Amino acid sequence: MAKKTPEKKSIPAQQENDKTTKLESFVADSTGEFLTTNHGLRINDDQNSLKAGERGATLLEDFILREKITHFDHERIPERIVHARGSAAHGVFKVYEDMSELTRAAFLCDPGAETPVFVRFSTVAGSRGSSDLARDVRGFAVKFYTQEGNFDLVGNNMPVFFIQDAVKFPDLVHAVKPEPDNEMPQAASAHDTFWDFISQMPESSHMIMWAMSDRALPRSYRMMEGFGVHTFRFVNAKGVASFVKFHWKPLLGVHSVAWDEAQNISGKDPDFHRRDLWDAIEAGAFPEWELGVQIVPESDEFKFEFDLLDPTKLIPEELVPVQRIGKMILNRNPDNFFAETEQVAFHVGHVVPGIDFTNDPLLQGRLFSYTDTQLIRLGGPNFHEIPINRPVVPVHNNQRDGHMRQTINRGKTSYGPNAIAANDPQQAKVADGGFVSYNERIDAKKIRARSRSFFDHFSQARLFFNSQSDPEKNHIIDALSFELGKVKAIEIRERMLAVLAQIDKGLATEVAYALGLHIPEIPLAELNNSIPADGERADYASTNPESSLAKSDALSMAGTIKDTIKTRKIAILAADGVEEKSLSKVKDTLVAEGAVVHIIAPKLGEIISKGDKKITVDESFLTAASVLYDAVYVPGGVNSVATLEAEANAIHFLNEAFKHCKAIAADEGALQVLESTYFFKKLTAEYTEETVLREGVIVSADVNLLTDTFVKMIAMHRFWERENPRKIPA
């Protein structure tokens, strides 16, 4: 007898494929719930790490901080959680003079020594596949391979940070990353979660001014400053310490692109910064920075209006000048992107004798976070054995085995003290170069709190804004209007307007007008929502004193170096019949000054000059764009001029260059090309030298005068004053 097949129960297709129903038991809804650890412990204070006193060191005992950061560090594999998209290069560093009076760091005490370096630049928020031109902070990390071990100066192109305490770092990055429900937007901060967080963290106000400024849109990695961000210590051989802030000053000056230009570049060449760095080094135009330091004696720790340990504050250069103590040159590209750029592991805790830490609570948290991150990203505890991470000096210790171990350790012992191997490897005395932590006295109670000296959240944000030129201020206003215009929740926009009003009423008014809103009346004491559950608002409220400095010239890019056109990219628009003298004189002069010149024509291949000379074309209008160049020149030649005048792409190229405030030059024989542009109608003044310097456009029959003036115009980088009164469609 055949076995009866059991009847199959019918399941409605909708229910069978309903993934939502199947996942419901795994869904967590935090609405109306208390904040807890991963093990269910209710958290009373998620805003401050546990410290030895309000200004004291962060304690390893802080299990809440460790759990939170450990979980955060392991959320992505294998891509970096932040700074995922980067570019790097090898180079060398030399100190100018012996710094032993301040520090016993050997590489800073021997002007004859040349220290190898590996430098990685990066965006912060986006993934590896995002664009180089996102509005973002840029990482600026330098690994010094010294004779005393590796020293990593892990910084950014902005001198301050969003938060004061490392316990808030996971929250900051979660807020700025794509929103978790839809994974949008990529590499952008213009969305609700970021501004929701920022509007409730007034300590972020100073950094927001920097992030909304032109510093967030560098022209090149080679043309941006770098900062150590934190206050560190120099310690000399006598054990005397000084506070130190690190700066990198680019010898090409500090320059940016326009916001509209950045968006276009992202479409035309999302690798713009990476390509720029690579091409410059390959061409032998090695990028250079000077290392600067601001030194504060320990006796002056409390003489400032701000706290030196607050990472949301800088030391204005008017109060403590930057001493330039050495030069770094990047002179070699990596051989393999993955093996070097991707696998390099920086750590703020990699220091050498003579350099030590302070109790900056953000720095203290980073000391834990970096090693923890590398453990998962690079496969285990032996990431230091990857070639790019290896120091140039031998490594000897009792740490053994582990995933991907490469060292073959001889001997019977892997512990100390030991008698079997005569205590080898032995501890090093200070005289032998042994590292000794600075002997700082600590006498305080364990407490989750923040020093009152950290509660000034607006004075330096105001100082930064007031220090900007008018075009720079306009760019900040436009950036805030754009970012907040993308925020959907009106209450977030209004709360942020109240924060901006604490910085500058005029700034807030301009942004409010663009958003079609009024500035709400929110008392200063109610702006800070990062308050512990048992905290009184009066104890944790933001303060807003006036700075004794009205402005700081060093905070504006307007006064940067403008005396060179080295490595600037210049486009020469030409076609068959171009006047050879008109083209070659300008090109040869620009190249001699260190610029990169590309001939751009209607098609690739070659063009034939008026004198029947073949001229190689570098790019066509199809493959090139004005946003990829710093300036434009149009040579003469009847046929060439006629072709360009009829070429819509050539006219658009010029209009767009003008819109982005770039220098434009034309032979007088090419005047009709300029007359076909939209911007030419806007120019009514005669082409005098005064007009050229103001408007950034020159037309001349005198090729020598034109060339000399054009070089000076390019060196000025941009004519930002033209931006608003000369707005054109392009």
Q: Can you tell me the distance from the alpha carbon of 91 to that of 395, in angstroms, rounded to the nearest whole number?
A: 23
80 annotated as belonging to a binding site for a ligand: yes
User: pLDDT (tens digit, 9 = 90+) per residue, 383-398?
Assistant: 998 889 999 888 898 8
pLDDT at 26: 62
Mean pLDDT of 171-194: 95
Q: Which two tokens stand for residue 628?
A: 């990829």
pLDDT at 728: 79
User: pLDDT (tens digit, 9 = 90+) per residue, 284-343?
Assistant: 999 999 999 999 999 999 999 999 999 999 999 999 999 999 999 999 999 999 889 999
Provide the H-helix boundaries in 212-307: 259-268, 272-282
Q: Can you tell me the distance from the alpha carbon of 567 to that of 559, in angstroms, rounded to the nearest whole number?
A: 20
Q: Which two tokens stand for residue 78?
A: 């294998």
Q: Which of 48, 90, 150, 156 is catalytic?
A: 156
Please report which confidence band the pLDDT of residue 5 belongs to, taking 50, 70 and 90 as the band edges.
very low
3-state secondary structure of 682: helix
Cβ within 8 Å of residue 173, ≥6 positions away: 72, 81, 82, 125
169 annotated as belonging to a binding site for a ligand: yes
Would you give the DSSP letter of residue 36? Answer: B
User: pLDDT (tens digit, 9 = 90+) per residue, 655-687?
Assistant: 999 999 999 999 999 999 999 999 887 776 555
3-state secondary structure of 665: strand
- Domains, the chain, ordered by start: 50-389 (2.40.180.10), 459-555 (1.20.1370.20), 569-722 (3.40.50.880)
Q: Please give the C-alpha separations between residue 217 and each of 29, 176, 207, 212, 400, in angstroms, as whole numbers.
A: 38, 17, 15, 9, 45
Place of tokens 């030059």: 665
Catalytic-residue membership of 409: no
User: pLDDT (tens digit, 9 = 90+) per residue, 126-157?
Assistant: 999 999 999 999 999 999 999 999 999 999 99
Cβ within 8 Å of residue 88, ≥6 positions away: 118, 119, 120, 121, 334, 340, 341, 344
Is the pLDDT at 490 greater than 90? The verdict is yes
Mean pLDDT of 585-613: 97
Which residues in 33-51 are b (16+ Cβ under 10 Å) and which e?
A: eeeeeeeeeeeebbbbbbb
The 3-class secondary structure across 282-309, one letter per residue, is HCCCCCEEEEEEEEEEHHHCCCCCCCCC
> Is there a contact between 450 and 48 (Cβ–Cβ < 8 Å)?
yes
Q: Please give the C-alpha separations between residue 578 and each of 441, 585, 611, 724, in angstroms, as whole numbers.
A: 75, 13, 9, 34
What's the sign of the alpha-carbon dihedral 660, 661, 666, 668? positive
540 annotated as belonging to a binding site for a ligand: no
Average pLDDT value for the chain: 92
The most distant pair of C-alpha atoms in the chain lies apart, rounded to whole Å, by 110
Mean pLDDT of 460-477: 98
Catalytic-residue membership of 39: no
Q: From 459, 162, 165, select the one nearest 305 (Cα to Cα).
A: 459
User: pLDDT (tens digit, 9 = 90+) per residue, 511-558?
Assistant: 999 999 999 999 988 898 888 888 887 778 899 999 999 999 999 999
Element (H, E) at 508: helix 505-515
> Before 523, cis peptide (omega within 30)?
no
pLDDT at 12: 45
Phi-psi category of residue 423: left, alpha or beta, with phi > 0 → left and psi -120 to 50 → alpha = left
Q: Which of 83, 230, 660, 717 is catalytic?
A: 83
